Structure 1
Amino acid sequence: MTKPLGYYTNYKPGDETLLATLQDDYGAAFEKISKREKLVMLTALASHIGCQLEGDCRAEIFTITKQITQQVTIADQIGIMEAIIGQIRYGQNFVVQEENPPMEN
């Protein structure tokens, strides 16, 4: 995070919230949190938010994720994460529609 927490959140200096505490304890750009710790936080937050959403995840998503982890450089994996975060935050949400079974005669 190269910009301060308030750039990405609703935090405003002077707020007395958890965001203020995080910034005070770990730095405005989370510079006191290691890369590994940030990834753990990202994993936990993504899992929590994902569980709040309706619907299931297609099996192919697990397959392509495994392929990405095995065949794509770490730098590009981080780039994919950044792209996905931007799409989740600002992009349209593609909803997988279940196919209707064919009508029986």
Structure 2
Amino acid sequence: MVKPIGYFCSFTPGDIGLLTEMEEAWGAQFQELNNCERLWMIVKLGEDLCTEYENNIRASVSESMERMDELQPGDKVGLIEALINQVKYSNS
């Protein structure tokens, strides 16, 4: 089951700002977005967050991503979920 955006971030119904505008446009669970739009947003948010870190990307990581076409769509989604959890719960 998909939860509303307020479950994941500091959004409370009645707030003013971007999260309110997003909820009004696409629904409390972003159900009005298609998967391409959701994935595009993940990429853009990831790019923005990456600029906050000074670490460089290792060659082995870059090389692995050059081979991502070897993965099934479900495995790609699983990796996204695993990586998000690592970012969310790690201190680095």
Same fold (TM over 0.5): yes
SS at match of 1:52: coil
Aligned to 1:61: 61
TM-score (norm 1): 0.81
Residues paired across the two proteins, number: 92
Q: Which amino acid aligns with 2:75?
A: D
CA drift of 1:91 comes to 2.6
In 2, Cα distance between equivalents of 1:48 and 1:23:
21
Aligned to 2:81: 82
Structure 2 spans left out of the alignment, 5+ residues:
none
Aligned to 2:69: 70
Residue-by-residue CA offset, 1:37-91 (whole Å, 9 max, x unaligned): 1111111110111122112110110111222x12221101100000100110113
Residue-by-residue CA offset, 1:6-54 (whole Å, 9 max, x unaligned): 0000001111121111111100110111100111111111011112211
CA RMSD of aligned residues (A): 1.4
Q: Which amino acid aligns with 1:72?
A: L
In 2, Cα distance between equivalents of 1:44 and 1:31:
19
TM-score (norm 2): 0.91
In 2, Cα distance between equivalents of 1:55 and 1:71:
27
What is the identity percentage for the equivalent residue pairs of Structure 1 and Structure 2?
29
Q: Which amino acid aligns with 1:18?
A: L
In 2, Cα distance between equivalents of 1:90 and 1:20:
26
Aligned to 1:99: none
Aligned pairs (5 A) from 1:1-105? 2-67=2-67, 69-93=68-92
